[in-house]
Amino acid sequence: MDALIKSIRPNKSTDTKAPETRPAELDPAEFLAAAVRADQPRPSRAEAEQAVQTLLGYIGENPAREGLLDTPRRVVEAFDELYQGYHQCPAEVLDRTFGETAGYDDFVLIRDIEFTSQCEHHMMPFYGRAHIAYTPVERVVGLSKLARLTDIFARRLQTQEHLTAQIAAAIDEVLKPRGVAVVIEAEHTCMSVRGVAKHGAMTFTSRFTGMFRDNPAEQARFLSMVRGPNR
């Protein structure tokens, strides 16, 4: 399934009557900056811990029993870690580029970037691997930066579709490559431990821009390398 967000690049199609099959344009301001301003009013840590106590009471627990005394603090600390992506800036990560491609004109693929994110519907983890390729024109980033970019978006409440689209759009917007390809495969615990409770079901999402969208052969080559041997 292709993520349901259209390319941030201008539509080159001359047929302006054709309805855009993908809804809402992704606004770079929404995904290129840190999601939370430092001065944004937020509930205090004490209020957050109080909310955890409320949930403990809701499930029938006694928040005052010894084993649970530190739980609200631990949960809020875990939230700080799991959701630190709200305070990090994706554009900054991609900002340090190398201008020299030394004549390299193929795509760069980073396979098997492990991530854990939280689904925005249940606040339960989904985790898996991202595979990212882009074809540099002038600007190349250090390979670890694409993993960091993935983590920044993953450490926010997400849908897998948005995660896929945001990674692709950020690379597209900052590096201006000839194309970006992103495939994400993930297991959703909201599906594996609750709801239909199906373990091991994997959800795949993909997003292609530029040459990967326009050239089926390049898209196929990317996919065969992602699925390729040594997996």
Q: Give the Cα separation of 96 and 63 in Å (integer).
A: 47
Residue 6: strand pairing partners: 25
Q: Give the Cα separation of 106 and 109 in Å (integer).
A: 10
Site residues for Zn ion, 37-96, by CB under 5 A, read none
Residues making up the chain, counted from first to last = 231
Binds Zn ion by CB under 5 A, chosen from 9, 45, 111, 122: 122
DSSP state of 31: H
- The alpha-helical segments, DSSP class H, found in the chain are 28-31, 45-58, 71-82, 90-95, 143-154, 160-175, 189-192, 210-214, 216-227
Binds Zn ion by CB under 5 A, chosen from 121, 194, 198, 227: 121
Residue 142 vs 195, nearer CB to Zn ion: 195
Q: What's the min distance (Å) between Cβ of 192 and Zn ion?
A: 10
Residue 7 vs 117, nearer CB to Zn ion: 117
Which token pair is 120?
Answer: 């925005």
Q: Which of 89, 122, 185, 187 is catalytic?
A: 122
Residue 133 vs 186, nearer CB to Zn ion: 186
Site residues for Zn ion, 172-201, by CB under 5 A, read 190
Binds Zn ion by CB under 5 A, chosen from 52, 119, 141, 186: 119
Residue 139 vs 188, nearer CB to Zn ion: 188
Interface contacts to Zn ion, rule CB under 5 A: 119, 121-122, 190
